[in-house]
Amino acid sequence: MTSDNSGNPRRAVDSVMERLDTYGIGRRQFVKLLAGSTAALAGVGALSAVGRRDAARGGAVAYTDGQFALLNWSSTGDYQVQWGRAFQDAAGQLGYKSVVLDGKNDAAVQSNQFNQLLTQKTTAIFVGLNDAGALPTLAHDANENGVLFQAAWNSPAWYTPWHSDVDGDKYTTFLMPDEYVSVGKAVDVLARKIGEEGTIVRVGGYYPSIDGCEVQRRLAVHETLKKYPKIKFAGELHAKYDADLSQRAAASLLARFPDTRGIVAVNDDAATGVVAGIEAAGKVPGKDVFVVGANGSTAGIDRIVKGTQLATTGNVPAYPSFFTLAQFHDRLQGWKPEAAERFYGWHAEIITAENVHKFKTRFVDGPIAESFDVRLLSRTLHPTDFDLQFDGYPVEDLETIWPGVPKPAGFEYPEAYLNAQRNGDFDRIRALYKQHYRTPVLGPSPYRKV
Q: What is the DSSP string of 78-109?
A: HHHHHHHHHHHHHHHHHT--EEEEE-TT-HHH
If asked whether residues 170 and 206 sit together in one domain, one would say no
Among 106-110, 205-209, 440-444, the minimum mean pLDDT is found in 205-209
Residue 415 has pLDDT above 70, yes or no: yes
If asked whether residues 297 and 211 sit together in one domain, one would say yes
Strand, helix or coil at 33? helix
If asked whether residues 291 and 321 sit together in one domain, one would say no
CA–CA separation, 102 and 87 (whole Å): 13
Q: State which residues form the domain around 301.
A: 179-314
Q: What pLDDT is recorded for position 52?
A: 59
Q: Going by DSSP bridges, is the β-strand pair 343-346/392-394 parallel, antiparallel, or unpaired?
A: antiparallel
Query: Where are any strands of DSSP class E within 301-439?
Result: 312-314, 343-346, 349-351, 392-394
Is residue 440 in some structural domain?
A: no
Is residue 352 in some structural domain?
A: no
Domain termination residue (choose one: 314, 332, 355): 314
If asked whether residues 98 and 40 sit together in one domain, one would say yes
The verdict on whether omega for the bond into residue 403 sits within 30 degrees of 0, i.e. cis, is no
145-163 pLDDT tens trace: 999 999 998 898 899 999 9
Domain termination residue (choose one: 292, 314, 336): 314
Is residue 28 in some structural domain?
A: yes
CATH of the domain at 230: 3.40.50.2300
Q: If you average pLDDT over every residue of the chain, what do you get?
A: 89
Q: What pLDDT is recorded for position 55?
A: 61
Q: Residue 118: how many CB atoms within 10 A of its CB?
A: 24
If asked whether residues 47 and 185 sit together in one domain, one would say no
What's the half-sphere exposure (Cβ side, CA atoms, 13 Å) at 148? 29
Average pLDDT over residues 262-271: 97
Q: What pLDDT is recorded for position 53?
A: 60
If asked whether residues 290 and 329 sit together in one domain, one would say no
Query: Where are any strands of DSSP class E within 60-213?
Result: 67-72, 98-102, 122-127, 148-152, 171-175, 198-204
Handedness of CA 127, 161, 410, 141 (dihedral sign): positive
Inter-residue contact 19 to 136 (CB < 8 Å): yes
Residue 209 has pLDDT above 70, yes or no: no
Residue 56 has pLDDT above 90, yes or no: no
The amino acid occupying position 281 is A
Question: φ, ψ for residue 248 (rounded to 5)?
Answer: -65, -40
CA-based nearest residue to 211, from 382, 428, 23: 23
Inter-residue contact 152 to 212 (CB < 8 Å): no
Is residue 364 in some structural domain?
A: no
CA-based nearest residue to 260, from 295, 236, 243: 236
Handedness of CA 134, 215, 151, 300 (dihedral sign): positive
If asked whether residues 326 and 292 sit together in one domain, one would say no
Highest mean pLDDT among 6-10, 77-81, 135-139: 135-139
Q: Going by DSSP bridges, is the β-strand pair 122-127/98-102 parallel, antiparallel, or unpaired?
A: unpaired
CA–CA separation, 306 and 16 (whole Å): 51
pTM for the structure as a whole: 0.87
Q: Is 393 or 132 the better-scoring residue by pLDDT? A: 393
If asked whether residues 282 and 382 sit together in one domain, one would say no
If asked whether residues 134 and 260 sit together in one domain, one would say no
Q: What pLDDT is recorded for position 19?
A: 47
Is residue 2 in some structural domain?
A: no
Question: φ, ψ for residue 333 (rounded to 5)?
Answer: -95, 5
Average pLDDT over residues 404-415: 92
151-208 pLDDT tens trace: 998 898 899 999 999 999 999 999 999 999 999 999 999 999 999 999 999 999 988 7
* pLDDT band at 46; cut points 50, 70, 90: very low
If asked whether residues 333 and 406 sit together in one domain, one would say yes
Inter-residue contact 316 to 370 (CB < 8 Å): no
Is residue 404 in some structural domain?
A: yes
Residue 140 has pLDDT above 80, yes or no: yes
Q: Going by DSSP bridges, is the β-strand pair 67-72/122-127 parallel, antiparallel, or unpaired?
A: parallel
**Distance set, CA 111 to CA 83, 239, 240 (Å):** 20, 23, 19
Hey, which residues does 175 pair with through a beta bridge? Answer: 152, 344
364-384 pLDDT tens trace: 999 999 999 999 999 999 999
Is residue 366 in some structural domain?
A: no
Give the orientation angle of helix 268-280 with respect to helix 78-94, to 10 degrees. 150
Q: What pLDDT is recorded for position 448?
A: 81
Indicate the helix (H) or strand (E) that contains 236: strand 231-238
If asked whether residues 326 and 306 sit together in one domain, one would say no
Residue 398 has pLDDT above 50, yes or no: yes
Is residue 338 in some structural domain?
A: yes
Q: What pLDDT is recorded for position 76?
A: 87
Domain termination residue (choose one: 314, 331, 362): 314
If asked whether residues 267 and 293 sit together in one domain, one would say yes
* pLDDT band at 361; cut points 50, 70, 90: very high
Residue 36 has pLDDT above 90, yes or no: no
Number of domains in the chain: 2
Q: What pLDDT is recorded for position 214?
A: 87
Q: What pLDDT is recorded for position 37?
A: 45
Inter-residue contact 151 to 175 (CB < 8 Å): yes
